[in-house]
Structure 1
Amino acid sequence: MKYWNLKKIHQSPVDKVGIIPRSISKLFDKFKKELDPNAEVEALEDFKVARYQTLTSVKYVIFLLIMPILINQISKSLLFGPCINYLWNRNQQSIFLNHSQEERAFAELQRFEEKLHFEILIGKVDNASQKTINHKMTDKALELAQEYANESSCAVKNILADLLSCTVFVSILITNKRQFSILKSFINELIYGLSDTAKAFLIILFTDMFVGFHSPHGWEVIIEVILRHFGLPESRDFIFLFISTFPVILDTIFKYWIFRYLNKISPSAVATYHNMNE
């Protein structure tokens, strides 16, 4: 690939912002290319550049996603898993990592006891002696202890494996700057090449999903899953504080992007967005 082609790849719509609106400049460029006697050669060259850019971007994205996931699973199964299991089994008292796990375990045991008494009252459980009840409660407590011990050990494995995966991910970005630059250009062309209606639709979909009035419920679920994944306490104060601040920051960044870039590159898309959002 010639240097001219590589330079052409790295040109993105963001870099072409000027005084004249982009739609008018594209119209003049179209007439200029149609009147150019070498238009066919340039069109073929543009196709080769676009094809190279697409193939390179797709391969890089696949490698960027699959490699950290493979490292994560392999390290968790072959490296961190056996070590954590050995150390965890040596200390039989290690069951809970935080008080949130204890509260969930106690709540499950309490629900089991209430369910057991209910089944006894309706005659679903025979031989309802105190000894039988104590035996069932002991079995359930041991089952919960094993379940939460596994959850705690898995949380430690997740922390180590995710740190290694993030290191691999960042290393790929640093060592493949050229591919990352091509991917960035490809994404810019893909986004800014959409129609005004498509841009407005994606903007509304993104904002309503992540910063809309109904998004706090989704953020609450996501944060709880992340906290459990890393074995962190599920603090309601932290969750509510995050929900009350992060979507606002995200909305501010998104509005700045619309004002700073999209409004200059495609003002008609911004107008369509405001009309659809009213």
Structure 2
Amino acid sequence: MSFIPRTILQTIRKFQQTLNPNAETKVIEEFRATRRQTISSIHFLLILILVPLLINQLSRNFVITPLVEKLWNLRESDVFLNSSQEEKALAELKRFEQNLYFEARIGKIPKLSIEAVQQKLKEKASTIAEESKIDSINAVTNIFADILTAATFIVLILTGKQQLSIIRSFAGDITYSLSDSAKAFLIILSTDIFVGFHSPYGWEIILGSTLNHYGLPENKSLISLFIATVPVIMDTIFKYWIFRYLNRSSPSAVATYRNMNE
């Protein structure tokens, strides 16, 4: 690994190219190569994004969901996937009952008899049970569909190592072509989002949504432990990356980052 910053090496190479008598021809060839590289990168990137999404939707709608629904309906007694889902359903039913009595007391609806209240509660409970059943089926479907999507993505990565290296090279060229201020801005933006002062709120929303997506019960202790450890580890890795690599490849960007961050 060279101890000379990459920006200086690029400047030296560009200066040498200008002194070359065949510089114009090389520039044209480099432009064509860059264009082919860009087209190839965009093409493979679209494949990485669209193919897994397509597999996810097709498998979800035509294979996994019908199969899960069929198996779930064989067990008619199962409504809730976990205790958290059951607690939410009971809380919703309780709120509905309280709203009935409240609206009857303020005269918004006619006063209901005990039988009428029980009938409405029964109808609401059936609706909640059906909604919970659908949520449970969707959660199980999400697990299998996402596993299949991840497997598809991994297969594409393993079978397209050459295209992936082109994308990495293309992304690296774009990154190093940015100005120092732009690099510093992106660094500050990334760190503030993932490990900044307000990042715990974002992590809490992401983790809660993920648990709900897969039908897992909300675990406040697990979420708190994750927020207390993972951002710290990410911050340590990021600082090491700045110290180990960015200081050598783009010291001016590091200086700009430190000035902007002060």
Secondary structure at the aligned position of 1:93 is classed as coil
What SS does the aligned partner of 1:231 have? Answer: coil
Q: CA deviation at 1:179?
A: 0.5
| Residue 150 of structure 1, CA deviation | 0.6
Match of 1:55 in 2: 39
Task: Name the counterpart of 1:206.
Answer: 190
Q: Pairwise CA RMSD of aligned residues?
A: 1.1
2: CA distance, partners of 1:229 / 1:162? 10
Amino acid at match of 1:63: I
Alignment of 1:68-79 (within 5 A): 68-79=52-63
Unaligned stretches of 5+ in structure 1? 1-16
How much has 1:30 moved relative to structure 2? 2.3
Give me the whole-angstrom Cα distance separating, in 2, the residues matched to 1:184 and 1:26.
Answer: 18
What residue in structure 2 maps to residue 105 of structure 1?
89
1:119 pairs with 86, 92, 103, which one? 103
Map Cα deviations across residues 184-236 of structure 1 (whole Å, 9 max, x no partner). Answer: 11111111221100000011111111111111111111111111111111111
Are 1:171 and 2:171 counterparts? no
Q: How does 1:25-44 map to 2 (within 5 A)?
A: 25-44=9-28
Q: CA deviation at 1:25?
A: 2.5
Question: Structure 2, unaligned stretches of length 5 or more?
Answer: none
Give the TM-score, by structure 2 length.
0.97
The answer to whether structure 1 residue 157 and structure 2 residue 153 are counterparts is no
1:196 is aligned to: 180
2: CA distance between counterparts of 1:32 and 1:76?
Answer: 56
Equivalent position amino acid for 1:255 in 2: K
- Write the mapping of 1:238-249 to structure 2, written as runs, cut at 5 A: 238-249=222-233
Matched residue, 1:263: 247
**Mapped contact 2:80–2:132 kept (Cα < 8 A):** yes
Distance 1:135 1:240 in 2: 42
Q: How many residues align?
A: 262
Report the AA paired with residue 158 of structure 2: I
Deviation at 1:75, TM superposition (A): 0.6
Residue 224 of structure 1 pairs with residue 241 of structure 2: no
The CA deviation at 1:254 is 1.3
Shift of 1:241: 0.7
State the Cα distance separating 1:133 from its structure 2 match.
1.2
What is the distance in 2 between the residues matched to 1:188 and 1:103? Answer: 49
Rounded to whole Å, the distance in 1 between the matches of 2:72 and 2:6 is 62
CA distance in 1, matches of 2:223, 2:69: 31
Q: Which amino acid aligns with 1:179?
A: Q
Q: Distance in 2 between matches of 1:263 and 1:135?
A: 71
The runs of at least 4 consecutive aligned structure 1 residues that moved more than 4 Å come to: none
Looking at structure 2, the residues matched to 151 and 91 of structure 1 have their Cα atoms a distance apart, in angstroms, of 16
